[in-house]
Chains A and B, each alone.
Chain A
């Protein structure tokens, strides 16, 4: 699996958009980009995934650059409950069965 690089921490004001970057410069053509988050002492929560097109669901939007070497997770209107560690993972689906989590980005939403 390709390795990902994320900033260790970010702050965001409540009600503003949170933009979380992820670099995956060695991504292969058949690797998907997945985002999970983990609120303190809970299991990771699936947010969104994509291959090359931008994706949107009720939680977030995923923007993948044309060369697929980086992506951005967007939480459009961050709330205090969005404070969590956000993990960006690349994996081949369905062949790779494990997911390689890095250290993630600790997002703190401030009032």
Chain B
């Protein structure tokens, strides 16, 4: 297995700018998840895709955030008009559908908003 990959690993941006992150899941996994993690806390669920359909969104996902998975493979997470409170690690995970359901995480993208 190649694992879950995320790009970029680090992003520094100025407040008000838009940023986009990419996640490539494990190839045979049809489920893809985005989480956010702030310093000293565990990851918090943001949203989830099954194939190309976005099936669940957390209340944490404000309308400045949008996620897509157009062909059911890679996914992008865009944050518009970034705020300093958006500074966090953004984690992507993928899993197979079915009883296993084990989620495997990527290395994350660390966002710093100045």
**Nearest CB of B to A8, in Å:** 11
**Nearest CB of B to A88, in Å:** 11
Size of the chain B interface, CB-CB below 8 angstroms: 28
Q: Are A102 and B102 in contact (CB under 8 A)?
A: no
Q: Are A93 and B48 in contact (CB under 8 A)?
A: no
Q: Are B101 and A102 in contact (CB under 8 A)?
A: no
Considering the chains assembled together, what is the distance between the CA atoms of A45 and B45 in angstroms? 16
Stretch from B11-19, B69-77, B103-111 at the A interface: B103-111
Is residue B84 contacting chain A, with contact meaning CB distance below 8 A?
no
Chain A residues near B101: list those with CB within 8 A.
93-94
Is residue B44 contacting chain A, with contact meaning CB distance below 8 A?
yes
Partner of A42, one of B42, B99, B107: B107
Count chain B CB atoms within 10 A of each CB in A34, A44, A94, A103 and give the residue with the most.
A44
Chain A residues near B41: list those with CB within 8 A.
103
Q: Which B positions have Cβ atoms within 8 angstroms of A?
A: 4, 31, 33, 40-45, 48, 55-56, 58, 91, 93, 97-108, 110
Q: Which A positions have Cβ atoms within 8 angstroms of B?
A: 34, 36, 41-46, 49, 85, 87, 93-94, 97-104
